[in-house]
A = this chain, B = another copy of it.
């Protein structure tokens, strides 16, 4: 039963399991991946710093949340970005996403984070509903205005 799965903050020793889940995530959604072994090496490096933490559901590995922290001039503590949240297909709709997110909140609080961000595809109504249900807002309270996430590959003018 998925309810018996442990959900906990990962350590560098979990890098292979985390990497496989992130690789599966990208494969499922037709996004390029450098492969589990490259990801595992990178995760082992990142998880040994203060800038990244991960949450793992398992065994067997069945869900992952990856969070990066950075400074921000408007906040006393670091702000957090939820970079990735993934639950394996066979474990969906069992509450693992909610448990992953709850553990993210706990660990963020422990690290003095008071502000968490996530970027969500506009058409992904399930994800938008999930994040709204967990306290994320897409509309500025004062203006009702939404913010778009823009990106730029490379630094050539």
Q: Which of B66, B116, B140 contacts A73 (CB 8 A)?
A: B66
Q: Which residues in B have their C-beta under 8 angstroms from that of A131? A: 150, 152
Residue contact A121 to B145, C-beta cutoff 8 Å: yes
Question: Looking at the complex, which of A3-11, A45-53, A89-97 is the stretch in contact with chain B?
Answer: A45-53
**What range describes how many residues of A lie at the interface?**
35 or more
Chain B residue at minimal CB-CB distance from A110: B155
Given contact pairs A69-B70, A70-B68, A73-B42, A113 touches B146 in the complex (Cβ within 8 A): no
Given contact pairs A70-B68, A70-B81, A73-B22, A115 touches B152 in the complex (Cβ within 8 A): yes
The answer to whether A128 has its CB under 8 Å from any CB of chain B is yes
